[in-house]
A = this chain, B = another copy of it.
């Protein structure tokens, strides 16, 4: 029996929690950008998210060694653990822009702080868009001024921010939930954007040389009126991102700008969540908060994959039976990122040979004669097996095709050689993806 949801879904997003203001405007950054799809008409491209009260802040950022200037600034400010506002633009990633890029990112926080009459240290900054182009600071300055003049707590403002962070996204992405902590209603909400260069691997420490690292920029902004102690907020965000954004891949390319930031302003008036202060009721409240945050981030992460560049299908890969968690992850990602597997899905072809091939070259140990591969419809328990213990199963090919023809389905892979598992959310690879990204 399914447990009843311990939270309620609400309309709206980042202004649903108490004490948050938002504004999204256009100031011509997108038109100046040369990225395809970003230079048509007047599209919102600058936004502010502001807490009316001082807030705990936590952030996780791309581990790409080439990371954008705003990531470096926000990484430092997130480590402080306190903040009030986020300034964000689309149309220009402010990446590979050298010392000038850092000065521009810092100037964005200073301009915002001056308008809001707060400290620049309390402002985080994010950018997404074309790499290697200098920020058009005249436009940015005008944008910050315009946005700060119309800040308000309406759902429409939140929606405008969700629009202002879009690049190749076809639609804004918003989620909000409400639950109770100590009898008081508390809300957690978020917005995010994709939609190509998507295989985030974010951490609270930022850029690092990786072994076998993988890969649109994704940005996510979360707000909550819960009171959460800083270290606890960071650890909750890391857990939430690990099971959501760090589990998705559209095209296997990890961006220079991936960022997920949460502000918790405590306006709900609950007793502050603090994992160090381990009373039983405190642990229960924290678990409730984590469940809500996990839900919000996972819903947002799935929206990114569903709206992936050119994507026509959404696939959830359930990999089980690996020797270790990292091998489970490597095996699932090898399948999710295989061009031949992704293109077979595009055609609705349940080609298990390509899946087995990708498992075979992954960094995971496998025993081909033990592998099960099956498909199911989302939410259905019955798995139609294509392969059982390494051999073609009795399922008629047409039955498999019927599942893979759907726009959403689940792929089940059991390696049967160990206890570890992983879930990866991915999309197919279509001609539209190539067309969209092939430039001029």
Contacts and interface: CB of A to CB of B under 8 A. Distances in A.
Given A96-B390, A98-B390, A344-B439, A65 B360 contact: yes
Contact of A433 (B209, B343, B362): B343
Contacts of A440: 347-349, 401
Contacts of A433: 339, 343, 434
Interface string A356-371: 1111111111101100
B65 A96 contact: no
A382 interface: no
Interface string A70-105: 000000000000000000000001011010000000
Given A65-B365, A339-B251, A390-B96, A353 B212 contact: no
Chain A interface SS verdict (over half) = loop
B357 A255 contact: yes
Contacts of A362: 210, 213
B251 A363 contact: no
A356 B390 contact: no
What number of copies of this chain does the assembly contain? Answer: 2
A256 interface: yes
A220 to B, nearest CB: 19
6 contacts: A64-B357, A96-B368, A98-B390, A256-B356, A344-B438, A347-B440
Given A65-B361, A253-B357, A368-B96, A340 B434 contact: no
Contacts of A356: 66, 96, 131-132, 256
Nearest to A391: B98
A7 interface: no
